[in-house]
Amino acid sequence: MEAALLALAGWLDAVGLVAWTRLSPWIYPWANVLHVLGVVMLVGGIGIVDLRIVGLWRSLPLGDLARALTPVAVIGLTLQFASGLVLFAADGPALAGSFVFKTKLVLIALALGNAFAFRFTARGGRDRSPSGLARVSAAVSLALWLVITTLGRLIAYY
């Protein structure tokens, strides 16, 4: 994984993104602001739907909630990848060796895998009474996104 991240860092440098992140002192801080906004949209959007599937707010129609919040989460995810790439470009070689950063990326892949498996096996969680499998998947999703967010914050310290 370290070799792949070093190759990505080299490619981002070759296409000029690394130099671009250093053009102005404002690029990195604003990428970080967008990264935090993305967390709010992604983890906030998915988190509320997961909590409903697990069993909270049973009077709230799950279908309506999922239809309203899924696009918010998808926009948040897109923001995470775009702003994350800028944050990574600014310090690629060092982050390639960061255990915390690599663990975060592995958990993001697991969380996305869980989300896709959920969409295609648990009827997209839009049943009024989600199955046991859907509840487990939603609980795993919630735990993963909270750990990913925590690791994201810890990257700067380890």
Which residues sit at the interface with ligand HEM, rule CB under 6 A?
32, 35-36, 39, 42-43, 77, 80-81, 84-85, 87-88, 95, 108, 148-149, 152-153, 155-156
End-to-end C-alpha distance for the chain, whole angstroms: 18
Q: What is the DSSP letter of 46?
A: H
Output 78 or 129, the one with its CB closest to ligand HEM: 78
The answer to whether 152 and 95 have CB atoms below 8 angstroms apart is no
Output 39 or 142, the one with its CB closest to ligand HEM: 39
| Structure tokens, 156 | 């700067």
CA 115 to chain centre: 11
Instruction: Tell me the one-letter amino acid at 14.
Output: A
CB of 8 to ligand HEM, least distance (A): 8
| Structure tokens, 139 | 């609980």
Output 27 or 36, the one with its CB closest to ligand HEM: 36
Spatial separation of the C-alpha atoms in residues 148 and 45, rounded to whole Å: 15
Output 29 or 63, the one with its CB closest to ligand HEM: 29
CB of 151 to ligand HEM, least distance (A): 8
CB of 115 to ligand HEM, least distance (A): 11
| Structure tokens, 124 | 């997209």
CB of 67 to ligand HEM, least distance (A): 22
